[in-house]
């Protein structure tokens, strides 16, 4: 009789234990879900501090959008208009992201000065593979010509430190008031090798200048260096 009562008690207790188990599981799961969405001021402050550290790390390790270039080169040409066939050029460029402003001054007999705007349509830096559109103006102090121009420049890295670069420009007719009408086009193309921020390059160039509809073609070689910052 006692065994029967004991067995009956077990049978009655099993459903009760099962229900208690379900209630316990429900309560625990609900608390876990609440804990996931619970917000506190201390946690917000910790998250804010972590985000500040991440922003500082990114600022220190992200590449700067600014890029500067200084160049100097020497040109030897068959230009019949010049009393001496060689001259040198100085140049400076400043970029902010894909946009840049560049100036170039020749130190030879004709001494033209060019100022132009760059817009890079492909590539991240001037010292890497890129395609860049150009628009600007070239002026000569004597005899006073000024030409607007447009062009396209490109750099192709064949290897990390070795590549090809060049440009092509078309010069519009000189502005009114000049002693004559001057227009034409110019191209440069060559190879370079980089040593960190230093670039050594050699280019061939050709220029077709029309002065009062009389063509004057010349070409030559340019050797120079660039510093990237």
Q: What is the pLDDT of residues 166-188, one digit of tens each?
A: 999 999 988 776 666 778 899 99
Lookup: tokens for 192: 């370079």
The whole-number average pLDDT for the span 90-96 is: 96
Residue where the block lists tokens 């002065």: 211
- Distance CA(108)–CA(85), nearest Å, equals 9
Residue 210 CA from chain centroid, whole number = 35
pTM over 0.85: no
Count the neighbouring beta carbons within 10 Å of the beta carbon of residue 18.
Answer: 10
Is 85 strand, coil or helix? coil
Lookup: tokens for 132: 């860049």
Q: What is the pLDDT of residues 141-165, one digit of tens each?
A: 666 788 899 999 999 999 989 999 9
């Amino acid at each position: 009789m006692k065994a029967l009562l004991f067995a009956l008690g077990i049978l009655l207790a099993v459903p009760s234990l099962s229900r208690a188990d379900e209630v316990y599981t429900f309560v625990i799961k609900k608390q876990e879900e609440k804990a996931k969405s619970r917000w506190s001021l201390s946690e917000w402050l910790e998250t804010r501090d972590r985000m500040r550290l991440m922003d500082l790390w990114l600022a220190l390790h992200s590449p700067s959008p600014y890029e500067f270039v200084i160049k100097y080169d020497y040109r030897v040409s068959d230009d019949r208009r010049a009393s001496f066939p060689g001259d040198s050029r100085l140049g400076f460029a400043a970029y902010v992201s894909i946009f840049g402003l560049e100036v170039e001054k020749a130190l030879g007999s004709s001494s033209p000065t060019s100022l132009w705007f760059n817009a890079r349509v492909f590539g991240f830096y001037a010292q890497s593979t890129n395609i860049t559109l150009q628009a600007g103006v070239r002026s000569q102090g004597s005899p006073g010509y000024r030409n607007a121009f447009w062009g396209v420049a490109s750099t192709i890295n064949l290897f990390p430190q070795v590549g090809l670069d060049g440009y092509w420009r078309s010069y519009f007719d000189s502005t009114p008031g000049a002693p004559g009408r001057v227009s034409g086009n110019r191209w440069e193309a060559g190879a370079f090798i980089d040593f960190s921020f230093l670039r050594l390059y050699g280019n061939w160039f050709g220029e077709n200048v029309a002065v009062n509809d009389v063509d004057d073609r010349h070409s030559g070689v340019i050797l120079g260096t660039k510093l990237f910052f």
